[in-house]
Amino acid sequence: MILRPSLFALASVLALASGPALCAPRAPAKPPKAALAPPADPPVRYVVQRGDTLFDLGRAYLRKTNDYRHVQRANQISQPRVMPVGKTLTIDADLLKTVPIDARLSAFSGKVEIETDGRRAPAQTGMALREGQRVITGPGAFATFEMEDASRVTLPSNTAMRVVRLRSVLLTNAPQRVFKLDEGRSAIQATPNPNPNARFEVRTPVSISAVRGTEFRVAAADGRARTEVLKGAVGVGPGEAPPAGPPVPAGFGVTVNSGGAGVSAPVALLPPPRLNEADQNQTDRTVHFAVRPQAGVAAYRLLLSHDAGFVDLFDEATQAEPAADFGPLADGTYFVRVTALDPSGLEGQPADYSFDRDLDVLEPGAPPVAEVRGKHRNFLFRWSAAGGGVRSFRFQLFAGTEPTAPIVDQPGLVEPQLTLTDLPPGLYSWRVSATRVKNGVVTEKVAPPQSLKIGS
């Protein structure tokens, strides 16, 4: 895979290097306006085809037709109507016509806002994104937006990403997609594009990740950025510098600190964790997962999604322990992605699982208390059941603390309760089971036995 370095950063770096010479020696000068402007886009390269003239290129592809003269001077062309076939023209990107790239918010959950010119508005599924806007996810919120070539960016909670460039250059038909991750995390799937002028970059306050087509993650927090490559290869450079070293290969990650130490050596990502197989059928009141522990892991991260592509995310948890509880969840089929984080914070390879959520809960109630009615003492046993389907219950009472031969065995109960009268003093244990019929499927569930002491 050929990676195109971020050439736009060079002009910015050179401008900053000359800054001290412009400052007064005794008092810090205000930085020039040019230093505050965003980095310029890299020049566009175009190979002259048979029949091309600068006049024709100017009319068809330049914002202003007469700007062909700038192209002529920059490329030392003596005759604008005659150009050698195969010559490579270098053209200032600001001179060229572009068309916007369609990008839309395909899925979100929780509080997601779109910031435009400093004003925030609630997100809406299907809304178009444009340059200059920011996508902001709040706590427990998620957002995914997709581009017309099926490239996708997914943002988990507490993340802010700005759309810097989202356009295609008409002359070269080259998409320019540049995003700035101000804070938080992102997962990117970039569709491969063989066009040498195509650009897909994710910037952070301290790094740049440039790709052609791959799957990777970028995170930024506390003056530190992390890039983890899952497929393909990614060029990573510090600050505004173009990625100069070899690209980071799949299965490795790097970190960049704001202290100027540059890009770290690639580190192998931790392997995919494994879930306990029993967790793929979730029937308890809360959805919970147990992960098989791995060596060298600082934390485990679990993502929940409505779809197998992990576009429509709706919850996540990061735990030091190899387990996570997500609370209640409606019945249905869902998907969970599990990753392990190493001590440096690099997130490892993912493991994806589907799981069925089918609430089926049977819980014993509080111990019964004797209720005296005339000469008799009544003991009301209660229990509760939750989940779909039709249930019948079986109640059993045992003498002593161990459930051996029942002294009361009452099947076929429709209501989750049973009254027994005049039980002698002593120690007992009791339990209840349920038979459920749902969608033609019969299942059995047994609640744990409960102890009972009856006084005289």
Residue 19, pLDDT > 70, answer: no
Write down the pLDDT at residue 30. Answer: 40
Bridge pairing between strands 351-357 and 281-282: parallel
- Copy the structure tokens of residue 249: 């290969």
Question: Rounded mean pLDDT of 24-39?
Answer: 40
**Spans of all domains in the chain:** 44-91, 98-268, 277-357, 361-454
Residue 305, pLDDT > 80, answer: yes
Q: How confident is the model at residue 410 (pLDDT cuts 50, 70, 90)?
A: very high
For 91-154, give the DSSP string: E-GGGB-EEEPPEEEEEEESSEEEEETTEEEE--TT-B--TT-EEEE-TT-EEEEEETTS-EEE
Write down the pLDDT at residue 161. Answer: 98
Whole-prediction pTM: 0.81
Asked: is 44-91 a CATH 3.10.350.10 domain? The reply is yes
231 and 182 Cβ atoms separated by less than 8 Å: no
Least confident of 10-19, 79-88, 193-202, 419-428: 10-19
Same topology between domain 98-268 and domain 277-357: no
Asked: is 98-268 a CATH 3.40.30.10 domain? The reply is no
What SS3 state is found at 436? strand
Write down the pLDDT at residue 243. Answer: 82
Question: Rounded mean pLDDT of 80-97?
Answer: 93
Write down the pLDDT at residue 7. Answer: 28
- Copy the structure tokens of residue 123: 């997100």
CA distances from 419 to 194, 371, 416, 422, 425 (A): 76, 10, 11, 10, 16
230 and 216 Cβ atoms separated by less than 8 Å: yes
For 336-358, give the DSSP string: EEEEEE-TT--B---EEEEEEE-
Distance CA 213, CA 3 (A): 9
For 276-301, give the DSSP string: -GGGGEE-SSS-EEEB---TT-SEEE
The superfamily CATH assigns to domain 361-454 is Immunoglobulins (2.60.40.10)
Residue 363, pLDDT > 70, answer: yes
Residue 9, pLDDT > 50, answer: no
Q: Which CATH architecture has domain 277-357?
A: Sandwich (2.60)
Write down the pLDDT at residue 38. Answer: 52
Write down the pLDDT at residue 260. Answer: 66
Judging by beta carbons within 10 Å of its beta carbon (0-12, 13-18, 19+), is residue 362 exposed, middle or buried? buried
Single out the residue of 263, 185, 269 nearest to residue 222, CA to CA.
Answer: 185
Give pLDDT tens digits for 200-259: 999 999 999 988 789 999 999 989 999 999 999 999 998 876 787 899 999 999 999 887
Q: How confident is the model at residue 370 (pLDDT cuts 50, 70, 90)?
A: confident
Q: How confident is the model at residue 452 (pLDDT cuts 50, 70, 90)?
A: very high
